[in-house]
Amino acid sequence: MDIVVLVKMVPDTESRLEIVDGKVNESGFKYMVNPYDEFAVEQAVQFKEASGGKVTLLTLFSNDTSIDTDLRKMMAIGADEAIVLRQDGYRGDRPSANAKVISGAISEMNADLVIGGVQGIDYYQGATGPMIAQMLGIPHISGVTNLEMNGDKFTAKRQIEGGLQVIDCPGPVLITCQKDMTKVRFPALKDIMMSKRKPFENREVSLNEENDIQTNECSLPPARGGGVIIDGESAEEKVDKLIEKLKTEAKVL
Amino acid sequence: MDPFHNYTSYDIPWWVILGIWSFIAIGLHVYQVGFIVKLIRLGKDDDRFNSWKQRMKEFLTDWLGQRKVVEDKLAGYAHALIFWGFLMLVSDVIDLGTGGRFAKLLEIKLLGNIELVDIWNIIVEIGYTLAGIGILFALYRRLIVRPEKLKGASMEGVLILFAILGIVLTSFIVEAGYMIGENHMNNWEPIGVLFAKQMEGIDSSTLGTIIDASYWIHMILIGGFLIEIPQTKHSHLIGTIPNVMFQDHDAMGTMNPMQTDENDIAVKTDDLDFDNLTLGVNKFEDFTWRQLSDGWACTACARCQDVCPAYNSGKTLNPMQIIMDVKNYGSEHGSQLLAGEEPDETIVDRFTPDAIWACTTCYACVDACPVHIEHVPKLTDTRRHLVMEASEFPEELQNLFNNLERNSNPWGMGAHTRADWAEGLDLKIGEPAEYLFYVGCAGSFDDRNKKVSRATAMLLKEAGVDFSILGEMEMCNGDPARRAGNEFLFQMMAEMNVDNMNSLGTLKVITACPHCFHTIGKEYEKYGGKYEVYHHSQVLNDLRQKGKLEINKFEDKVTFHDPCYLGRIGGETEAPREALGGDLIEMERHGQKSFCCGGGGARIWMEEDADKRVNEIRAKEASETGADCVAVGCPFCMTMMSDGLKEIGDVKPVKDISEIMLENLNTEEV
């Protein structure tokens, strides 16, 4: 079973967010592996451990930032190789253009399973995965919470409003993983070191911006107002003051 | 009356029987000791065969002088008397075993009528007497005082005490028998004379039987004791000799790098030879020989158990049990280990992960041990195995490691916000200065501890100290990762920090965190960074004493909680007190003997059962002093003590030394 895992690099959640000219200023960002994709890596490695095959990490990313350490860590979990599509001017908010580049790479790879996270925690669009499936002409199941493999058939479970949906599907198929699909292991140090010997390919790809959505404007959420602590000698006095405030300031009474 | 000329009823000469018994006893003793030596030699190298002059001095004070043994008054002096007594009397065994021929050799005239044998006699006599008194004290402690920690202890200790008492008493009876037989009271053996006077008047055949019996009881007990020594805690009679002689000469609390070169410098993470590297300890032979010898040096005195915060808060860990485990594991699996086979049970199985993760690395156990047993490294070494080899560790630690890797602080806050605490203070950031103020993670990211950083910086500015901070360049010193077993992550952080600090030309460092104080000051040298590191209390105290900071005497009643890594491990208990300067009310356990807040050893990031909290024990002790305020000198103590006091319903504030100083700063004159 050959598995391709879609790994997106997203800004570290603790990065400083600034809006410049209506766009997120990504300079100075530190990047990390999208947490949803970590579940996909772990699940793929578990399938490989159960029935053999190869796990390939596939990433589309910009040209100027090193992500070796992060991807090596994913390889330490058990992935066999990594291919990074390097693109000048890459942005994480263009699902259609990005899906086109990624699906182009996958179509040369003969994958039995393509698996990734349900969405990137940068723009939360959740669109790239299904688009790749469409472009490859294979079925997709999104937001999967549990995935089993029987021969070349997959059984996926999805949480839906008030219930559980169980879907059977033959491979090749594209799966996107919901949170907690499986528990991601912490690789032992020896595995981290061994991962340095695994193949790691950087491949230049060109940018194709036509036929995609355009982000017109971004803004930060309004700053939260500070709370008010009501002072008073006794509980009664505080309650009186609160009622007064609710009447005059909040105008809810 | 001379037992040596009596024959047994089978007409076998006494020396034949004694010869056979000696052969059995000495043979079994040597065989068993040899087995233990072979086991200990399975351990890895640890070159402690240096600084012989210092080692001899330590051996004389700690072993012969019983320096730390007597810290526990009753048990300690009882032990010292038995120990010194036995050293003085031990040659008598040779004399008794050779039928008095040893004493004959000593009949050499010294001064006037005094012969060498007389001097020897009085020494042996004093030896037996001291041992006898010591045993009576020890029996009094075990049978009448019965301290809490002895409840549930086996009867072995009492039996052995009675056996040794038997050895002492029978020797006096045999001495007395000699004197009666030769009709000469030897005044060089005064206790023997006392016994002889009591025995006069007994008819000679009964007396003969009593003396014969005493002689043989004496010899049987001594032989039995020889056989017993290697099997029980009495192995400490031998085990403490290498233990005390080869005690650790590194500063307390320092840990060993994964690999070192010939100059004892850590091999860089990029150059580590992973094919020939054992990460931590899981097998018996992963320990060093010196770690193994601890097992046979332990006397089960339980002083480590008494001071252990994990044990005293009801956790699985008992430091004494860890040491017993090493010995018992070796004894039980000994033949397998020596045959090069691997027992099914591992060291981690024996210690149990629960115990391994309960340690706060406060080093109270190591400090309390009279024979230099090193408990903590055994636990941190097994943690290394669990994290780096087995990947089995408390889930909370995975967050800790990820946070340290990504944002270089335990909470995972954005690294770019590290210097936000200093807003408006107009500090030098990343510029060369006389001192580097290494703020640390808690002081940079934790709201409560940010106030401490501000107070410290304001005091330093007030006194005109030239200092800068690293700002966003600063990283965690790596201690939380290291004490939690992730040595690799620690080393990567240490290497980056050393690069940053060296590029700034840093030589002198001030920090308000004792863990930074310890790690940067005492551990970084092996990673290429040699700095003079001061705890902020040391610098602030110096400024106060020199009159650069005028602090008014405060009126609050304050108690100071010594942080482990400043006091016991860092060796600094005076500066914080003098920096505070007021009337302190001391907790019973303070200074070197302070009790951990529960936050060390990365414990602050791990779950702790509500009914087993170390900080509540310490908060109660602080509360009972009746002080208005608890002063601390460590950001983790700040958190743990604040939480602990809240938990027990005490509202008194917890403040850092610098905050109390700033509150009492005399601003009018300066």
Mean pLDDT of B140-154: 85
Tell me the C-alpha distance between B666 and B492, whole Å: 44
Tell me the C-alpha distance between B670 and B545, whole Å: 15
Please tell me the least confidently modeled range out of A214-223, B441-450, B599-608.
A214-223
Here the ipTM equals 0.81
Tell me the C-alpha distance between B176 and B173, whole Å: 5
Shortest Cα–Cα distance, B271 to chain A (Å):
11
Q: Residue B7: what pLDDT?
A: 44
**Interface contact A14-B279, CB threshold 8 A:** no
Shortest Cα–Cα distance, A69 to chain B (Å):
10
Domain residue spans in chain A?
2-205, 226-253
Other Cβ atoms less than 10 A from the Cβ of A241: the count is: 13
Phi-psi region of B521 (alpha: psi -120 to 50; beta: other; left: phi over 0): alpha
Q: Could you give the C-alpha distances from B274 to A70, B258, B281, B486, in angstroms and in order?
A: 20, 10, 15, 15
Helix (H) or strand (E) holding A82, with range, is: strand A81-87
Asked if B399 is an interface residue toward chain A (Cβ–Cβ < 8 A), one would say no
Asked if B393 is an interface residue toward chain A (Cβ–Cβ < 8 A), one would say yes
Mean pLDDT of B421-442: 94
Q: Residue A180: what pLDDT?
A: 78
* CATH match of B558-663 with 3.30.70: no
pLDDT in tens, B192-234: 999 999 888 888 888 888 988 999 999 999 999 999 999 999 9
User: B263 vs B536, which has greater pLDDT?
Assistant: B536
A2-205 folds as: Rossmann fold (3.40.50)
Q: Residue B670: what pLDDT?
A: 44
**Interface contact A189-B390, CB threshold 8 A:** no
pLDDT in tens, A201-240: 999 998 876 667 888 888 888 877 777 888 888 888 889 8
Q: A131 pLDDT exceeds 90?
A: yes
Chain B positions in Cβ-Cβ contact with residue A15 (cut-off 8 Å): 414, 416
Q: Report CA torsion sign: B93, B97, B100, B105.
A: negative
Mean pLDDT of A122-127: 92
**B555, B660 Cβ separation under 8 angstroms:** no
B408-545 folds as: Rossmann fold (3.40.50)
CA nearest to B170, candidates B140, B21, B178, B78? B178
pLDDT in tens, B204-213: 888 888 988 9
* CATH match of B278-393 with 3.40.50: no
Q: Mutate one of A186, A193, A197 to test the B interface: name it (highest B CB count within 10 A).
A: A186
Asked if B545 is an interface residue toward chain A (Cβ–Cβ < 8 A), one would say no
Chain A positions in Cβ-Cβ contact with residue B416 (cut-off 8 Å): 14-16, 28
* Among the partner residues B272, B391, B413, nearest to A14 by beta-carbon distance: B413
pLDDT in tens, B649-658: 999 999 999 9
Q: Residue B4: what pLDDT?
A: 54
Q: Could you tell me the two tokens for A21?
A: 């000219």
pLDDT in tens, B343-396: 999 999 999 999 999 999 999 999 999 999 999 999 999 999 999 999 999 999
User: First CA to last CA across chain A, in angstroms?
Assistant: 65
| Confidence at B12, pLDDT banded by 50, 70, 90 | confident
List beta partners, residue B558: B584, B629
Determine the angle formed by the axes of helices B190-199 and B116-139, rounding to 10 degrees.
Answer: 70
CATH code matching the domain that covers B3-243, chosen among 1.10.3120, 3.30.2010, 1.10.260, 1.20.950: 1.20.950
**Interface contact A14-B406, CB threshold 8 A:** yes
Q: Residue A108: what pLDDT?
A: 92
Q: Residue A210: what pLDDT?
A: 67
Asked if B133 is an interface residue toward chain A (Cβ–Cβ < 8 A), one would say no
| Confidence at B111, pLDDT banded by 50, 70, 90 | confident
Mean pLDDT of A114-129: 94
**Interface contact A14-B389, CB threshold 8 A:** no
Chain B positions in Cβ-Cβ contact with residue A30 (cut-off 8 Å): 406, 415
Asked if B389 is an interface residue toward chain A (Cβ–Cβ < 8 A), one would say yes
| Confidence at B3, pLDDT banded by 50, 70, 90 | low
| Confidence at A20, pLDDT banded by 50, 70, 90 | confident
pLDDT in tens, B161-181: 999 999 999 999 999 988 888
pLDDT in tens, A68-97: 889 999 999 999 999 999 999 898 888 999
CA nearest to B420, candidates B445, B448, B452, B451? B445
**Interface contact B414-A193, CB threshold 8 A:** no
Angle, CA of A164, A168 and A169, to the nearest 5°: 135
Q: B1 pLDDT exceeds 50?
A: no
> Chain-wide mean pLDDT for chain B?
93
**Interface contact B406-A188, CB threshold 8 A:** no
Chain B positions in Cβ-Cβ contact with residue A186 (cut-off 8 Å): 391, 393, 398, 401
Domain residue spans in chain B?
3-243, 278-393, 408-545, 558-663
Same topology between domain B3-243 and domain B278-393: no
Tell me the C-alpha distance between B596 and B423, whole Å: 33
> Chain-wide mean pLDDT for chain A?
91
Residue A69: exposed, middle, or buried by beta-carbon count in 10 A (0-12, 13-18, 19+)? exposed
Tell me the C-alpha distance between B443 and B449, whole Å: 5
Tell me the C-alpha distance between B381 and B363, whole Å: 15
Q: Mutate one of B278, B396, B406, B472 to test the A interface: name it (highest A CB count within 10 A).
A: B406
Tell me the C-alpha distance between B422 and B400, whole Å: 25
Chain B positions in Cβ-Cβ contact with residue A16 (cut-off 8 Å): 414, 416-417
| Confidence at B446, pLDDT banded by 50, 70, 90 | very high
